[in-house]
Amino acid sequence: MKKRKAPADIPRTREIIFRIRRQKSPDLDSYWEDFSYVYDRSRGRQNIAGALRELGAVRFECGCLQKKCGACAMVVDRIPRLACDVWLDDVADLVILEPLKKFPVIEDLVVDRQVMFDSLKKMELWLKETAHETDGEQFSLAYQSSRCLQCGCCLEICPNYYPEGVFFGMAGMVPSVRIMTAMSDSQKKAFYRQYRKHIYEGCGKSLSCRDICPAGIPMEELMVNASAAAVWKRNKIKK
């Protein structure tokens, strides 16, 4: 990454080339196309999502522009990131953008992440009976879990996740904790089998997903507690 200059040394305008892997439809081949964007700092700080909106030539998804919805996830210079969280002051003069590769491309930088939501359905990740009250340390775990954007960046970086597989990755583990803290005892018993099969047994625990998560979710802490309950039958997520 290009070294950041002191504000006084930064020119007011700078040309940035976005080299974008484009694809017109799911059944057509992809190709590269360059777009020139003149970044004018006097108009305020800009991020990649904002620049793509101004260019208007390439399809991508965005909702909040504030790291809240996860829609703008894409591969930026080979790293899965949120386009609204990559600021043009921090990028080089050439930026390479690609769609997330673990999901089918719909068009350009837009991918179909349905498989991620289907994983939550396969684990039956919803409350079937009256919720337990969440308190104390459980509340903290539930809160951290609820911050997941379902952006898919952790699945993109994970060497063990592939869409047709049994392992559902951190995008499955993190939201599990929120529901586990409120499940009835009988639902937990059944759910723990799902957790072991789809999360615990497939994870290599290398935690490269933790470093990439744009929400900064403490995955290690969540997984230690979820696995302690589901695998070793002890912890803060009470039975």
67 binds, among ligand SF4, ligand FES, none (CB under 5 to 8 A by kind): ligand FES
Residue closer to ligand FES (CB basis): 152 or 169: 152
- Which of 55, 64, 88, 120 binds ligand FES (CB under 6 A)? It is 64
- Which of 215, 224, 228, 231 binds ligand SF4 (CB under 6 A)? It is 215
174 binds, among ligand SF4, ligand FES, none (CB under 5 to 8 A by kind): ligand SF4
Q: Which candidate, 31, 12, 112, 34, places its Cα nearest to that of 71? A: 112
According to DSSP, the residues that pair with 210 across neighbouring strands are: none
Q: C-alpha distances in angstroms, 26 versus 6, 65, 164, 216?
A: 44, 26, 18, 32
Tokens at 176, concatenated: 């599990």
Collapsed DSSP state (helix, strand, coil) of residue 226: helix
DSSP state of 39: E
The verdict on 213 binding ligand SF4 (CB under 6 A) reads yes
Residue closer to ligand SF4 (CB basis): 67 or 236: 67
The verdict on 100 binding ligand SF4 (CB under 6 A) reads no
Q: How far is the CB of 44 from ligand SF4 (least distance, A)?
A: 27
Exposure string of 127-162, with b = 16+ CB inside 10 Å and e = fewer, is eeeeebebeeebebbbebbeebbbbbbbbbbbeebe
Residue closer to ligand FES (CB basis): 17 or 64: 64
The verdict on 71 binding ligand SF4 (CB under 6 A) reads no
The verdict on 171 binding ligand SF4 (CB under 6 A) reads yes
Choose the binding region for ligand FES from 69-77, 108-116, 121-129, 203-211 (rule: CB under 6 A): 69-77
Number of residues interacting with ligand SF4: please give it, by CB under 6 A: 25
Tokens at 23, concatenated: 């694809």
Residues with Cβ within 8 Å of residue 208, at least 6 apart in sequence: 157, 158, 159
Distance CA 205, CA 92 (A): 32
Can you give the binding site for ligand SF4, defined by CB under 6 A?
A: 70, 148-154, 158, 160-161, 169-171, 174, 203-209, 213, 215, 217
Can you give the binding site for ligand FES, defined by CB under 6 A?
A: 49, 62-65, 67-72, 82, 84
